[in-house]
Amino acid sequence: MHSLDQFSIWVSFQLSTIFFIGLPFTILIWAIKKGNKVIKRLLKNYWKVSLLFFISLILLIGKLSFGLLITNLAITLMTISVWFWIDINNELKEYKLWHPLTSITKIWRWALTFTSINFVTRSLLNQDCLYKINSVNCSEWLEPSKKLFLILKSLFNFLFGANFTEPIALFLGLFALLIYILGLLQWLLIQLPKNGRNSSFSNYDEF
């Protein structure tokens, strides 16, 4: 892999850390503090969907061959989730530009979208890695999961006094993926036909 490709992948992951995790977490805390139901609902739905992203990182620790493909699917679903809800979109349109919380949220949605497009594009330029992540040429895509592995290994040892290994990560990742798929199917078959693209944020309980 050329150094330019390695650098672009590194940049993609750095942007992902900011716009997939850091900024949405900050906006959620801000929305809770301000008691903004619409943004809290948007971010709650986003974090539910984004669980697949974290599952994919666990699967990459376990060296699952198509782990990167799941990562791309997760990123695509995360992007869709922030634009999907009609009632949330309509409500956000009502806010003026000088309303800081909603303006930052709107900017974040677009930044998330462009970051997702960049990430998926980089992945498609390395198509073999989508199905053969263990290839030598795909090592750069495993760097974030290696860092996560070190964190989880220390945490696992602290909590359970046991060693966190790649086979354990693969098992936990596959189990979590199964639960996620069952939850997604339940939403597709029951909740989506019932509510459509209405998030019902106005009925959303405060927390």
Domain boundary assignment for the chain? 3-203
What are the pLDDT digits (tens) for 144-198? 788 788 888 888 877 777 788 888 889 999 999 999 999 999 999 999 999 889 9
Q: What pLDDT is stored for residue 160 in this prediction?
A: 76
Q: 26-40, 102-116, 138-152 — which is least confidently predicted?
A: 138-152
C-alpha 160/C-alpha 155 separation (Å) is: 8
**Neighbour-count burial of 84, counting CB atoms closer than 10 A to its CB (0-12 exposed, 13-18 middle, 19+ buried):** middle
- Average confidence (pLDDT) over 51-58: 94
More confident of the two residues 87 and 164: 87
DSSP output for 81-141: HHH--HHHHHHHHHS-TT-HHHHHHHHHHHHHHHHHHHHHHHHHTTHHHHH-TTSGGGGGG
Percent of the chain beyond pLDDT 70?
94
198 closest CA partner among 97, 87, 91, 111: 87
Q: Which amino acid is at 36?
A: N
More confident of the two residues 20 and 207: 20
Residues 78/49, Cβ–Cβ less than 8 Å: yes
**How far is CA 157 from each of CA 57, 152, 153, 169, rounded to the nearest angstrom?**
19, 8, 6, 14
C-alpha 10/C-alpha 158 separation (Å) is: 30
More confident of the two residues 32 and 98: 32
Q: What pLDDT is stored for residue 207 in this prediction?
A: 43
Structure tokens at 89: 């979109």
> How high is the mean pLDDT of the chain?
88
Q: What pLDDT is stored for residue 2 in this prediction?
A: 56
> pTM value?
0.89
What are the pLDDT digits (tens) for 12-37? 778 888 899 999 999 999 999 999 99
**Neighbour-count burial of 146, counting CB atoms closer than 10 A to its CB (0-12 exposed, 13-18 middle, 19+ buried):** exposed
Residues 170/59, Cβ–Cβ less than 8 Å: yes
Please provide the size of the chain in residues: 207
